Amino acid sequence: MNSTLHIPKAEIHVHLEATITPSLCRKFAERNKVKLSADIFGSEYAYQWEDFYDFLKKYDIVTSVIHTPEDYYELTYEYLKECASHKVLYVEAMVSSTHAKAKGMTYQSFLDSIQEASLNAERDFGIVSRYLMNGIRHLGPESVQGTAEEVLKNPHPALVGFGLAGDELHFPPHLFSKTFDMLKEENFPITVHAGEWDGPENIRKAINLLHPTRLGHGVRSIEDLELVKEIIEKDIVLETCPTSNIATKIYENYENHPVKKLHELGAKVTVNSDDPPFFNATIQGEYEAMSNIGFTDDALISMTRNAIEYSFLDEQKKREVLAKLN
């Protein structure tokens, strides 16, 4: 057990709001006077939900306890502390200004708190972190456009890129092409969820219409080997989240998950925890599971290298983090 604790790790696909542990959720709920029904808690470590749409619903309920910049500070610092204890060198986490603003925070105040926690965690534990603003598909194209415009008008040192999350099946790529053309025009780094729920046709559309250099999940590309070839030729990195995909029943188990085959075909893969306490996942656990299905230590370290090299960190800091790996 835990034969991978010594492996240096990186995580580039995790939703910051969704890193909230059940104990932190209870603490914030009490502090912010939010009533939670007991059925959201599955165990001391995890939440419970039925299927992906119920997951999205529970996700909103659980994260509705995060009300203040101080909550964001605590959430961020605690997650980074936990990651650092598992030898994680770098975290690039997605955040949602629509969440923060719905709770009355300003764009600036929630990002400033995240930045402060990030700097303090780097000082205290050596872990480096940066953040991606997420547009939420099922809030619609106007919402995603507004989120992106705000990011471009208000550059923040914590923010290094833009992502697209939410309901992939009902909100396909073409709805968001105007927003992502605008981001590309401004050379703003892009990653989008694609190929988690939807298949090759819409993964191709995501690549062609949304200009990502990374794909969130991307694993259903395995259903079309020409597409895998295209992903390799275009040097697009896959942010795979095996435990998440097993929890949501896209794949039955790690052996049947495409991550190993994609790696063997030559795709650049990384492993990530996505929404840790919703899926009983940790970044340490992802590396451990990959070791158990045959990834060698060298292969695991190459995943860490992929994650850092293809992160949206500035070049100087990237070199500093990579130096710790070498």
Please report, as ranges, the residues that interact with ligand ADE according to CB under 6 A: 15, 18, 59, 165-166, 193, 196, 244, 274-275
CB of 167 vs ligand ADE, minimal distance in Å: 7
* Contacted by 295, from ligand ADE, Zn ion, none: CB < 5 to 8 Å by type: none
Does residue number 11 form part of the binding site for Zn ion (CB under 5 A)?
A: no
* Contacted by 244, from Zn ion, ligand ADE, none: CB < 5 to 8 Å by type: ligand ADE
**Is the CB of 71 or the CB of 196 nearer to ligand ADE?**
196
Give how many residues touch Zn ion by CB under 5 A. 1
Select from 127-135, 140-148, 266-274, 296-304 the region that touches Zn ion (CB under 5 A): 266-274
* Contacted by 162, from Zn ion, ligand ADE, none: CB < 5 to 8 Å by type: none
User: What residues are labeled active site?
Assistant: 196
Measured from each CB, the residue nearest to ligand ADE is 165
CA 316 vs CA 70, 117, 312, 319, 321: distances in Å? 30, 21, 11, 5, 9
Residues 6+ away with beta carbon under 8 Å from 229: none
Measured from each CB, the residue nearest to Zn ion is 274
**Is the CB of 11 or the CB of 274 nearer to Zn ion?**
274
* Contacted by 254, from Zn ion, ligand ADE, none: CB < 5 to 8 Å by type: none
Helix/strand/coil for 160 = strand
CB of 192 vs Zn ion, minimal distance in Å: 10
Buried b / exposed e over 83-105, threshold 16 CB at 10 Å, is bbebbbbbbbbbbbbebbeebeb
Q: How far apart are the C-alpha atoms of 46 and 19, rounded to whole Å?
A: 11
* Contacted by 183, from ligand ADE, Zn ion, none: CB < 5 to 8 Å by type: none
Q: How far apart are the C-alpha atoms of 218 and 208, rounded to whole Å?
A: 14
Q: Of the candidates 11, 112, 274, 286, which one interacts with Zn ion according to CB under 5 A?
A: 274
**Is the CB of 71 or the CB of 274 nearer to Zn ion?**
274
Q: Which of 158, 157, 213 is nearest to 184 (CA)?
A: 213
What DSSP designation does 15 have?
Answer: E
Q: How far apart are the C-alpha atoms of 36 and 31, rounded to whole Å?
A: 12
Residue type, 294: G
**Is the CB of 8 or the CB of 212 nearer to ligand ADE?**
212
Site for Zn ion, residues 207 to 246, rule: CB under 5 A:
none
Q: How far apart are the C-alpha atoms of 191 and 209, rounded to whole Å?
A: 12
Location of structure tokens 């764009």:
107
CB of 104 vs ligand ADE, minimal distance in Å: 22
Q: Which of 54, 93, 50, 74 is nearest to 276 (CA)?
A: 93
**Is the CB of 57 or the CB of 174 nearer to ligand ADE?**
57
Q: How far apart are the C-alpha atoms of 221 and 268, rounded to whole Å?
A: 13
Binding site for Zn ion (CB under 5 A): 274
